[in-house]
Structure 1
Amino acid sequence: MDDYPLLNLFWTMLLIFCWVLWFFLLFRIIGDLFRDHTVGGWAKAGWIIVLIFLPFIGVLIYVIARGRGMAERDQKQAKEMDAAFKQYVREAAAGEGGAAGGNVDQLSKLAELKSQGHITEDEYTKAKAKLLA
C-alpha cells in the first residue's frame, strides 16, 4: 500500500471511523446497562469487565444479545420524558393563566349553588370575595 497514498488515506479514514463508532457504541451500551433495572449488579459488572477486556467483541456480543432491549428501553424512556414534559407544560400553564380559569370555574359553580338555593347570598359574596382576593 505504500505505492498508493490514496489507499492509505482511505484506510486511515476507515480506521478512524470505526474507532469513533466503537466509542459511540461503548457509551450507549454503558448508558443502557445502568438504565436497565432488570439486570443485577453482578451482571452489570460482568458486562463492564467483558467490555474492558474484549472491547470490540464485547460490544458486538452486547448488541447481538441485548440490542432489541436497548431499543425498547430507549422508546420507553422517550415516552416517559414526553409525558413528563407534557405534564410540566400543563402545570406551568395552570400556574400562569390557568389559575384564573380555575377561579372562573369556581365562580360559576358558586353562582349555580346560589341559584339552586344551596347557599345564601351572604355565603356567596364571602366565597366570591375570597376567590377574587
Structure 2
Amino acid sequence: MYEQGTSHYSSVSSNTWASNRSIGRSKRRGSGVRQSAVASRNAPRSGGLEAFVFLFSFCLYAYFAFHLQNSLSSALMLLLLAFGLASLTTGLVAHLNRKNRRKAHSDYEKQWYCKKCGEIFLYEGKN
C-alpha cells in the first residue's frame, strides 16, 4: 500500500526579474509527498493519543491538586506540578506505545491493495 499510493516528488523553479535599478534571478527548490486516498485511509494514526493523554492527565492532576490544597496562595505552583506530572505521564505513554506504532508502520509498508476486488492484503514474503 505504501509504495502503490505514495509518491515523493521534488521540483526546481527559476525566475528572472527586472526593475528600473537592477536585474535579478532566483531559484527555488521544493519537495513533498503525494498520497492517494486509499493509502492515507489505511495509514497508521499518529500523535492523537499523546495529546489526549496530556490533556486528560493535566485536568485530572490539577483537579486533585486543587482539592487537596485549601489555600489558593500556591495555585501557580499546583498548576506547574500538574503540568510536570502530565508531561511525565505523556512521555511514559509515548514510550510504551512506540512498539505498537513501529508494528503498525511496518504492517502499513507491507500492505497491498487489489484494485479488482478492493481487498487489502499483507505481503509476508522475504525482504
Larger RCO (CA within 8 A; separation ≥ 6): 2
Q: What TM-score results when the alignment is normalised by the length of structure 1?
A: 0.28
Larger fraction in helix: 1
Kindly name which structure, 1 or 2, has the bigger radius of gyration based on alpha carbons.
1
Larger fraction in strand: 2
Q: What TM-score results when the alignment is normalised by the length of structure 2?
A: 0.29
